[in-house]
Amino acid sequence: MFITLEGIDGSGKTTQLNLLAAWLQEQGLEAVITREPGGTPLGEKIRLLLLSPEDGPKTAVAELLLYAAARAELVQRVIKPALQAGKIVIADRFNDSTWAYQVWGRGLDPLWVKEVLSGTTDGIKPDLTLLFDLVPSVSLSRIKRGDRLEQENLDFFQRVRQGYLALAQEEPERIRLIAADRSVSAIWTEVRAEVETLFTKIC
């Protein structure tokens, strides 16, 4: 079972992922938790590059290919083996991030990005994606990392959000839209309900 968490920066994904991981452990369920970019030794090095204001990519194509390289490693070395072993995998970001950020945010050619994504993911697709939706002005006010990506302007994050919302409209069964402007506990109640529904569908 593969679950991904998506949303613009500061939408609260990581907070909910930590709650989900703790809850699964309480249920006695083994889960592999990972994040993108990252999750492998190479992926974590690529992550440092991508977030660095000094050394990070200066072109959208180079940026996309770095995300793709990190994902290819993660899929082959972590996600695929874990799914084949029957484990639950939970990822903080996956393909939908690339679609929202690189196609809608950066304006890269969707057909080309689709090709790159299908080449890196080896047919792996999430069973459930939780999309945390929030206006960028609020989500960005929650974070202060000072990295390369956080320095993007509000318009960029508005386009990314629109990209996510368009994806959710296209795939409402897989992508569950979660209003992220509520309390952590109200959001967690909904997250847990979505995951329980998935369990009853799949198990």
Amino acid occupying residue 129: T
11 binds ligand Z5A (CB under 6 A): yes
Rounded Cα gap, residues 136 and 116, in angstroms = 27
Q: Which is nearer to ligand Z5A, 33 or 199 (CB)?
A: 33
Least separation, in Å, of the C-beta of 167 and ligand Z5A? 13
Rounded Cα gap, residues 111 and 60, in angstroms = 15
Stretch that binds ligand Z5A, among 13-21, 78-86, 119-127, 167-175 (CB under 6 A): 13-21
* Cross-strand bridge partners of residue 35: 92
Q: What is the dihedral of CA 32, 184, 173, 158, to 10 degrees?
A: -100
R_g of the chain, CA atoms, integer Å? 16
Q: Which of 29, 154, 179, 184: binder of ligand Z5A (CB under 6 A)?
A: 184
Rounded Cα gap, residues 153 and 149, in angstroms = 9
Q: Which of 34, 98, 121, 129: binder of ligand Z5A (CB under 6 A)?
A: 98
40 binds ligand Z5A (CB under 6 A): no
Token look-up 């930590």 returns: 18
12 binds ligand Z5A (CB under 6 A): yes
14 binds ligand Z5A (CB under 6 A): yes
**Which pair of structure tokens corresponds to residue 165?**
């919302």
Least separation, in Å, of the C-beta of 166 and ligand Z5A? 16
**Which pair of structure tokens corresponds to residue 155?**
């318009």
CB distance 17 to 25 below 8 Å:
no
37 binds ligand Z5A (CB under 6 A): yes
Q: Which of 108, 116, 187, 191: binder of ligand Z5A (CB under 6 A)?
A: 187
176 binds ligand Z5A (CB under 6 A): no
Residues 6+ apart with CB under 8 A from 131: 6, 7, 96, 164, 167, 168, 175, 176, 177, 178
Q: Which of 2, 67, 104, 164: binder of ligand Z5A (CB under 6 A)?
A: 67
**Binding stretches for ligand Z5A (CB under 6 A):** 7, 9-15, 36-37, 67, 93, 97-98, 101-102, 142-143, 149, 152, 183-184, 187
